Chains A and B, each alone.
Chain A
Amino acid sequence: MKNVSRIIPCYSADTSGVCSALYELGGMTVTHDASGCNSTYATHDEPRWYDMQSDIYISALTEMDAIMGDDEKLIFDVVSAARDRAPAFIAVCGSPMPMMTGVDFDAVAAEIEARSGIRTFGMHTNGTRSYIEGASEAFLDIVREFVTDCPKGGLGVRSPLNHEMSQTLQRPSPISDNIGVNILGMTPLDFPWRGTMDSMKRFVAESGFEYVSCLAMGSSLDEIRRAASARVNLVVSFSGFAAAKYMKERFGIPYVCGVPFGKKYAERVKCYLNWAAEDKECDTVNERGGEPCDIVIIGESIGAVSLASALWHENGTHARVICPLPTDREILADYDLTLSAEEDIERALHDLAPKTVIADPLYRYIVPRGTRLIELPHFAFSGRCFERDMKDLIYCDIPF
């Protein structure tokens, strides 16, 4: 049966994506679900839970609530909690049971907002889609609601690129100083919570940019409110792609997709950011040697493409991406694959017969015998099982 995983787990669900995306922004996230399910969203899928407080609630939906369609109880409880907590916003998420009974979260959110006076988002989650879709919707809502137009940062000072690269690529001379940058799509579901933002801020600062905000790890809502002052957005996972497109359309801020893994590829990301800030064109930093590929990387699209490109820049190896999560084909190379079903991924690995697979350790069980597996734990896939082994590859030497 398609889309049934017999061996590997599924990725974190959309509800976890919402909770993770909004965790640090001072809002209140309520999932309409049975009591006990909160541990999934707030602890199993959330490494910050023990160190950082966040208002994440569960509605404690009962069988009778579901049968009777008692939306009023949910609305009353949320409004009541919001009066106590005074959050900056409220997000109400669905889960499988409300999906089956057809709860109208847009209408519920409108009623909560009318009674509480607090901006409320009805999230279209149902627990059956991936964290990417939930985080993506949450980020888009935050940007639409809280980011307003404001003057851009300094115009910057032109500085030379690496000579060899500027000759090869024939692009305009870049600006490298004082260009404001937002990081979009950053959550602990894709990146190690500890250390990542330090690495990212170091990359931003040492590349001559000005850090404006991060959606949404290590950034406050107030920082995000000023996001339109940036001159370019760096999209580090597909969770931030919809928000980036919106900001391009609404504020004219171009975006670059790529995670500055390694040193040489990070330099390329820097170049693309400079170019984007100057010519307003959006792009993905996807620079690889093409086929044939000895390596297959399985993972989230922008992270996996970035790693494949980083490997090519660092040591000339060719890697193909298998993306099991929602993405946009434009982010990938022609020879990359989008496969979500376990049986399809297993068959592709068998047919492609790569020498090496780079993926979460739990993919080991469908990697062909004799194929080397480089373990790259992905929190959205294996949760806390391998959290200690998660690697921060941003702006540092790649260990493989």
Chain B
Amino acid sequence: MIKIALYGKGGIGKSTCTANLAAAFASLGKRVIQIGCDPKADSTINLLGGKPLQPVMDYLREHEDDPERIEDISRIGFGGILCIETGGPTPGLGCAGRGIITTFNLLEQLELFERYKPDVVLYDVLGDVVCGGFAAPIREGYAEQVLIVTSGEKMALYAANNINSAVKNFEDRSYAKVRGVIMNRRNVENEEEKVRAFAEKTGLEITADIPRSDDIIRFEDMGKTVIEGDPECETSKRFFALARKLIEEDK
């Protein structure tokens, strides 16, 4: 099973990359689960025709008892992808990290992996590894690999470096390892050189190079991924290439 967590600076395109990668895996015939780990709960929206999914935290808020079925807290999206959103507390209140842990415990209780038997699980994690809750997706039993999404912007690279350091802190534990970097281009000056310099300094590979493209925005406005909207375009090809590479490595 391929289990990957995507991390990166807020607004850098993690959800876009995750949803497109999920769609690419699904189009290649894989059984995929995407779990959005963000209180905004919009990770899977473009796999679901633009219609938001009720997050697990909202379900728990509205019901006295825990859900008894995976179907109660998930929906099937493009390509048969099982979509789940952790959601979180009211902004400014509570503990979002704890919400992720609670959701993961619940998914374990519902025997998600045993029952759904996925080939691929993707975790789309909010921003940085800011606390124990946001490290939950890289713990033993969850993601095995981390992909860091970054552009050539200074703050995106700064966040990428923090994420890499945070994951390294857990070297003694059986946690996920950083697989590489997804360069999600913003067309800033000398972007490729900056990202390459970061990758070389940290010993990471640039695993994918996603071009800046209006196609992404156009299809997202329609509630779709690029893979769904135009599987032949250059951006889709890059995501397919990344998916194939990860499948090949998993063999």
Complex alpha-carbon distance, A111 and B174, angstroms: 10
Complex alpha-carbon distance, A114 and B173, angstroms: 10
Complex partner residue of A107 from B64, B101, B139, CB under 8 angstroms = B139
Chain B CB within 8 A of A40 CB: no
Minimum distance in angstroms from A14 CB to a CB of chain B: 14
Minimum distance in angstroms from B161 CB to a CB of chain A: 20
Chain B CB within 8 A of A69 CB: yes
Chain B CB within 8 A of A222 CB: no
Cβ A69 vs Cβ B131 within 8 A: yes
Complex partner residue of A101 from B132, B139, B140, CB under 8 angstroms = B132
Chain B CB within 8 A of A110 CB: yes
> Are A102 and B173 also in contact (CB < 8 A) when A2-B64, A69-B131, A107-B140 are?
no
> Are A102 and B175 also in contact (CB < 8 A) when A2-B64, A107-B139, A107-B140 are?
no
Chain B CB within 8 A of A328 CB: no
Cβ A107 vs Cβ B174 within 8 A: yes
Chain B CB within 8 A of A106 CB: yes
> Are A102 and B135 also in contact (CB < 8 A) when A2-B64, A107-B140 are?
yes
Chain B CB within 8 A of A65 CB: no
Complex partner residue of B139 from A69, A104, A111, A114, CB under 8 angstroms = A104
Minimum distance in angstroms from B186 CB to a CB of chain A: 32
Q: Name the residue in A2, A100, A102, A114 with the highest tally of chain B Cβ atoms < 10 Å from its Cβ.
A: A102
Complex alpha-carbon distance, A114 and B174, angstroms: 12
Cβ A102 vs Cβ B140 within 8 A: no
Cβ B101 vs Cβ A110 within 8 A: no
Chain A CB within 8 A of B95 CB: yes
Complex alpha-carbon distance, A102 and B95, angstroms: 11
Chain B residue nearest to A124 in the complex (CB): B105
Complex alpha-carbon distance, A69 and B134, angstroms: 13
Cβ B140 vs Cβ A106 within 8 A: yes
Complex alpha-carbon distance, A69 and B175, angstroms: 17
Chain B CB within 8 A of A10 CB: no
Q: What are the interface flags for B157-182 relative to A under an 8 Å C-beta threshold, 1 for contact and 0 otherwise?
A: 00000000000001011110000000
List the A side residues contacting B95 at CB < 8 Å: 100
Complex alpha-carbon distance, A69 and B98, angstroms: 14
Chain A interface size range? 10 to 19
Complex partner residue of B132 from A2, A104, A106, A114, CB under 8 angstroms = A104
> Are A107 and B175 also in contact (CB < 8 A) when A100-B95, A100-B98 are?
yes
Complex alpha-carbon distance, A273 and B131, angstroms: 52
Chain A residue nearest to B133 in the complex (CB): A102
Chain B CB within 8 A of A103 CB: yes
Minimum distance in angstroms from A64 CB to a CB of chain B: 14
Chain A CB within 8 A of B97 CB: yes
Cβ B173 vs Cβ A104 within 8 A: yes
List the A side residues contacting B122 at CB < 8 Å: none
Complex alpha-carbon distance, A107 and B135, angstroms: 12
List the A side residues contacting B175 at CB < 8 Å: 107
Q: What are the interface flags for A87-113 relative to B under an 8 Å C-beta threshold, 1 for contact and 0 otherwise?
A: 000000000000011111011001100
Minimum distance in angstroms from A347 CB to a CB of chain B: 16
Complex alpha-carbon distance, A69 and B133, angstroms: 11
List the B side residues contacting A100 at CB < 8 Å: 95, 98
Cβ B172 vs Cβ A114 within 8 A: yes
Complex alpha-carbon distance, A18 and B73, angstroms: 33
Complex alpha-carbon distance, A106 and B108, angstroms: 15
Complex alpha-carbon distance, A73 and B170, angstroms: 15
Cβ A110 vs Cβ B173 within 8 A: yes
Cβ A107 vs Cβ B132 within 8 A: no
Chain A CB within 8 A of B136 CB: yes
List the B side residues contacting A114 at CB < 8 Å: 172
Cβ A102 vs Cβ B132 within 8 A: yes
List the A side residues contacting B174 at CB < 8 Å: 107, 110
List the B side residues contacting A110 at CB < 8 Å: 173-174
> Are A102 and B172 also in contact (CB < 8 A) when A69-B131, A107-B140 are?
no
Cβ A107 vs Cβ B136 within 8 A: no
Complex alpha-carbon distance, A320 and B136, angstroms: 44
Chain B residue nearest to A101 in the complex (CB): B132
Minimum distance in angstroms from A121 CB to a CB of chain B: 15
Complex alpha-carbon distance, A106 and B174, angstroms: 10
List the B side residues contacting A103 at CB < 8 Å: 132
Task: Spell out A's residues near B (CB within 8 Å).
Answer: 2, 69, 100-104, 106-107, 110-111, 114
Task: Spell out B's residues near A (CB within 8 Å).
Answer: 64, 95, 97-98, 101, 131-133, 135-136, 139-140, 170, 172-175
10 A-B pairs with least C-beta separation: A102-B132, A107-B173, A102-B101, A102-B133, A101-B132, A2-B64, A100-B98, A104-B139, A69-B132, A111-B172
22 pairs, CB–CB < 8 Å, chain A vs chain B: A2-B64, A69-B131, A69-B132, A101-B98, A101-B131, A101-B132, A102-B98, A102-B132, A102-B133, A102-B135, A103-B132, A104-B132, A104-B135, A104-B139, A106-B139, A107-B170, A107-B174, A107-B175, A110-B173, A110-B174, A111-B172, A111-B173
